[in-house]
Amino acid sequence: MIVWALLTSVGINLGLCLLFFTLYSILKKQPSYLDVYAPRLVAAKEESEQRNGFNFERLLPTAGWVKRAWQPSEDEFMSATSFDAVVFIRIFIFSLRVFGFAGIVGVVILLPINYLGTQLDADSSDLANKSLDSFSISNVKDGSKWLWVHFCAVYIFSGVVCYLLYYEYSYISSKRIAHYYSSKPQPHQFTILVRGIPVSSGSSCSETVEKFFTEYYPSTYLSHSVVRRTNKLQRLTSDAKKLYRRLVHLKSETNPQRRSIRDGFCGLFGHKVNVLDHYGKKLETLEDNVRMEQLSVAGKEVPAAFVSFKSRLGAAVALHIQQGTNPTEWVTERAPEPQDIHWPFFSSSFIKRWISKLLVVVAYAAVTILFLIPVVIVQGLTNLEQLETYFPFLESILSLTVVSEVITGYLPSLILQMFIAFVPPIMIMLSSVEGCISFSQIEKSACIKMLCFTIWNIFFANALSGTVLYRFDIFLDPKEIPGILADAVPAQLLIVYAPKYDTGGRFWPTVHNSTIFSLVLMHIIAIGIFGLKNLSLASSLIVPLPILTLLFNEYCRKRFLPIFEDYPLECLIKKDRQDQNDPTIAVFYNKLSTAYEDPALMPIRHPRSTDDHNSPLLQAGV
């Protein structure tokens, strides 16, 4: 890619950014889009004044929202959203610091050294048509003393990134403990999930759980909720909710013609009927089916239960101690927040979950491999000579300057981003069927899959598709891999958010580990680069750097990671002692006994339902 093609791509992207900023600034002020751009304000019914009357200023773009987006403090974010939102902001700030430092060093120091090199081309008169390789380390002459500047940059950059990682790890871990002390009692702090319950003949799962925990945890056991198979019931409940929302929408419809439909095929044939009465009867029938299914679900127990305790310490003890002599029975794990539970997971047996995980691995591998097709296409677009070789009939078109600049500068990234847009939903779908018990686990698993996918397809495959894909023999000699990497890489590389759950910032260690992986990968590439540049001493002196980085990571893992896995005994006891002086703790215990009931088993409370339909069919702990 030449410089002018890169500048063309930058110009197009900046223009699109300005367009999107302008559209967002205008659309967010339109009353009809408040449900999209300010759902939390709509839910709080704070938008009534904005919906009334016409205001010409709504049609003018403004940039004040950018300043307001940076004004809230971390405490305001935490009180309005969750601790996860604060950690996300810290990740954003950490990324800005890393890329800001790297940008300054790269642009101010390394780029001029690279450009003044003479390895590739000594002519610097035609800057616009120079290849981007002229700005990379590839242009520095082999064995040049200027390569030691790059050597120092590797060490300095690694040191700065490790310092920032340590600072953020220490800061977030201390904030996590402070947030825990200041938070109110939460159901998941007092509850564990127990699976593999050995139910004997003649007794129910609920009776088995009651007997076991009453006997072995007499002073701390509070209550339990047995999990039931509710797949069919969840589908019926979901259909009832959708139909109810549709009825609410139809009631607000002012056009009388839209309140009547035909009762025939697809609403096109048959007699005309009142749509409110029609859907109202369907809703009543669906609600009756829901109640009948709720009654039949009473005996469909799964050998799993949410067990709640009177203290956080009691839950922690039960979580970390093996309950029975058979380690495959009474298996305990941390309970997610009630609203975070992925209920369909419990309806699958162990064999089905194991098979699902196996199928997910196969499907993930297939998606990763198939994505190589657009990656190879993109790589071909960035290399016009290769493109002309495969498609000779395009030679006359590709010779046009404007066409070549757009194709090599902007089109590859556009095509790649279009294909990547389909990947996250696929990863979420795969993670949802592999056996996760909560939505947060699903999203974390999908993020890890997406990270590995990006590292392979966007970095390795895209950067090396011009070499590795055509040189399979390098895998026969692993010592050549750093050299291939070195040779190929320098040649392109508050209002809306409503949290559904709070993991307490548990995803920060994933960010930390990903950064460590990136640093080690950079060190391996640097070893290969200095080897290719005939500076073997620098290549040898880089070898200790990945070792030191991994030792630093091990220290952070020992020092900070336990804080993100479990709260220490000191914190648990302090919080339990605070609860003793809390006058509302009794009310919390009452709510805790029903917090982990399956929502599908809750009584339906649509306005069309009569009072006798609103009584719960299943009691807590049954």
Task: Write out the H or E segment, with its range, that includes residue 272.
Answer: strand 272-274
Please, what is the end-to-end C-alpha distance for the chain in angstroms? 67
Find all residues with CB under 8 Å of 240, minimum gap 6, and list them: 283, 286, 287, 290, 604, 606
Find all residues with CB under 8 Å of 456, minimum gap 6, and list them: 368
Residue 461 is predicted with a pLDDT of 60
**Looking at the predicted structure, is the pLDDT value of residue 379 above 80?**
no
Residue 556 is predicted with a pLDDT of 95
Phi (first) and psi of residue 262, to 5 degrees: -95, 140
Mean pLDDT of 138-144: 85
Residue 267 is predicted with a pLDDT of 55
pLDDT band at residue 407, thresholds of 50, 70 and 90?
Answer: low
pLDDT band at residue 611, thresholds of 50, 70 and 90?
Answer: very low
Phi (first) and psi of residue 54, to 5 degrees: -105, 140
The length of the chain in residues reads 622
Residue 432 is predicted with a pLDDT of 85
Residue 397 is predicted with a pLDDT of 64
Find all residues with CB under 8 Å of 618, minimum gap 6, and list them: 294, 297, 298, 597, 601
- Read off the pLDDT of residues 59-108 as tens digits, 9 standing for 90 and up: 677 766 666 666 667 777 777 677 888 888 889 889 989 999 999 999 89
Give the integer Cα–Cα distance in Å for 376 and 381: 9
Residue 473 is predicted with a pLDDT of 45
Residue 474 is predicted with a pLDDT of 43
Query: Would you give the distance in Å from CA 22 to the centre of its chain?
Result: 27
Contact by Cβ (8 Å): 46, 500: no
Instruction: Give the range with max mean pLDDT: 37-46, 97-106, 266-275.
Output: 97-106
Mean pLDDT of 123-152: 78
pTM: predicted TM-score of the whole model, two decimal places:
0.75
Please indicate whether residue 247 or residue 162 has the higher confidence score (pLDDT). 162
Residue 605 is predicted with a pLDDT of 64
Q: What is the DSSP letter of 455?
A: I
Contact by Cβ (8 Å): 264, 231: no
Range of lowest pLDDT (45-54, 65-74, 128-137): 45-54
Range of lowest pLDDT (462-466, 543-547, 562-566): 462-466
% the chain with pLDDT above 70? 69
pLDDT band at residue 128, thresholds of 50, 70 and 90?
Answer: low
**Looking at the predicted structure, is the pLDDT value of residue 619 above 50?**
no
What tokens appear for 307 in the block?
């067990």
- Read off the pLDDT of residues 286-329 as tens digits, 9 standing for 90 and up: 888 888 877 776 667 888 899 999 999 999 999 999 998 888 88
| CB-facing half-sphere around the CA of 351: CA atoms within 13 A | 0
Find all residues with CB under 8 Å of 247, minimum gap 6, and list them: 276, 279, 280, 283
- Read off the pLDDT of residues 468-517 as tens digits, 9 standing for 90 and up: 434 444 444 555 545 544 544 444 635 555 667 778 888 899 899 999 99
pLDDT band at residue 613, thresholds of 50, 70 and 90?
Answer: very low
Contact by Cβ (8 Å): 295, 617: yes
**Looking at the predicted structure, is the pLDDT value of residue 612 above 50?**
no
Residue 622 is predicted with a pLDDT of 39
Mean pLDDT of 454-460: 73
Mean pLDDT of the chain: 78
